[in-house]
Structure 1
Amino acid sequence: MSDLEPNTPPAPKRQTGRIVGLALLAGLAAGAFGVYVMETRSGNSSVASTCPAKDGLRQALDGAARGEVAAVVPLDQPFDVSTIAFKDGNDQPTSLGAMKGQSLLVNLWATWCAPCRAEMPALDQLERQAGDESFAVVPINIDMGDVAKPKAFYAETNLTALPFFRDETMGVFNDLKKASVAVGLPVTLLVDADGCARAAINGPAHWSSPDALALVDVLKGAGGGLTAAPPQS
Structure 2
Amino acid sequence: MTDNTEKSSRGRLPTIAAAALLVAGAGVLYVNGGASGKKGSGEACAASRETSQRVSSLAKGEVAAMSIASEPEMMPELTFTGPDGAPRKLEDFKGKTVLLNLWATWCVPCRSEMAALDRLQKEAGSEKFEVVTVNIDTSRLERPKSFLNEIGAKSLAFYADPKAEIFFQLKQTGQALGLPTTFLIDGKGCQIGLMQGPAKWDSEEGRSLVTQTAELSSTPVATPIARP
TM-score by length of 1: 0.74
Residue 202 of structure 1, aligned match among 186, 196, 199: 196
The 8 Å contact of residues 57 and 227 in structure 1, kept in 2 or not, is answered as no
Distance 2:173 2:192 in 1: 13
Distance 2:222 2:212 in 1: 13
> Does the alignment pair 1:224 with 2:219?
yes
Q: Give the match for residue 107 of structure 2.
A: 113
Q: Give the match for residue 99 of structure 1.
A: 93
Q: Please show how residues 46-57 of structure 1 align to structure 2 within 5 Å.
A: 46-47=33-34, 48-49=37-38, 50-51=41-42, 52-53=45-46, 54-57=48-51
Distance 2:113 2:168 in 1: 22
Identity level (%): 36
Structure 1 unaligned regions, length at least 5: 1-41, 229-233
Q: Give the match for residue 79 of structure 1.
A: 73
Give secondary structure in 1 for the equivalent of 2:98. Answer: strand
Residue 138 of structure 2, aligned match among 112, 134, 144: 144
Residue 69 of structure 1, aligned match among 60, 63, 74: 63
Return the offset for 1:94: 0.5
Distance 1:217 1:90 in 2: 28
**Structure 2 vs 1, CA of residues 225 and 64 (structure 1 numbering), >3 Å: closer, same or farther?**
farther
The 8 Å contact of residues 53 and 70 in structure 2, kept in 1 or not, is answered as no
Whichever structure has more helix as a proportion of its residues is: 2
Return the offset for 1:88: 1.1
| AA matched with 2:132 | V
Return the offset for 1:225: 5.1
> Does the alignment pair 1:189 with 2:183?
yes
CA-to-partner distance for each residue in 1:23-65, whole Å, 9 max, x for gaps?
xxxxxxxxxxxxxxxxxxx9xx744312424332222221100
Moved more, 216-225 or 57-66: 216-225
RMSD: 2.0
Give secondary structure in 2 for the equivalent of 1:168. Answer: coil
Give secondary structure in 2 for the equivalent of 1:126. Answer: helix
Number of aligned positions between the proteins: 185
Distance 1:75 1:46 in 2: 16
| AA matched with 1:128 | K
Moved more, 89-98 or 109-118: 89-98
CA-to-partner distance for each residue in 1:72-108, whole Å, 9 max, x for gaps?
0112443323621000122111111111111000000
Distance 1:218 1:180 in 2: 27
| AA matched with 2:130 | A
TM-score by length of 2: 0.76
Larger radius of gyration: 2
By relative contact order (CA 8 Å, sep 6+), the higher-ranking structure is 1
